[in-house]
Homo-oligomer: A and B are copies of this chain.
């Protein structure tokens, strides 16, 4: 996320304890947690935390570009505090999502773009993670 509390406050947002807890959980988190994951983790310290607050906060962070929403998991939204463009490995067994450092140079000929104005790209490599390989 590369977002210090100071930067956060400077961007005109209030830094509440609940938000701090959500930020702290997200900061450097490489597990691509779902909203539920965030909720479960943060609730430990804030038992009154509402699920809606988590969604609201994630939505707000997404709008401000502090978090990216991933689509690789068909069951729930997953969030990535690492906003630098990068690709992912996705386990079709347990839905684990792992960052990929490899970069690819993907360019499309204008003729192939169907008139789209391309803004970015994302590669999902699918397969079985070590854990799931063992289980089969």
Partner-B contacts on A (CB < 8 A): 69, 71-74, 77, 89, 91-92, 98, 100-102, 104, 106, 108-109, 112-130, 133
Contacts of A113 in B (CB 8 A): 89, 127
Tell me, in angstroms, the Cα distance from A126 to B120 when the chains sit together: 5
B106 close to A92 (CB less than 8 A): no
- Given the complex of chains A and B, what is the CA–CA distance between A121 and B124 in angstroms? 5
Contact assessment for A69 and B77 in the assembled complex, using a CB-CB cutoff below 8 Å: no
**Is B114 touching A118 in the complex (CB atoms < 8 A)?**
no
Q: Are B102 and A112 in contact (CB under 8 A)?
A: yes
Complex CA distance for A73 and B114, rounded to whole angstroms: 19
Question: Of B74, B106, B116, B126, which is within 8 A of A104 by CB?
Answer: B106
Q: In the bound complex, how far is the Cα of B90 from the Cα of A120, in angstroms? A: 10
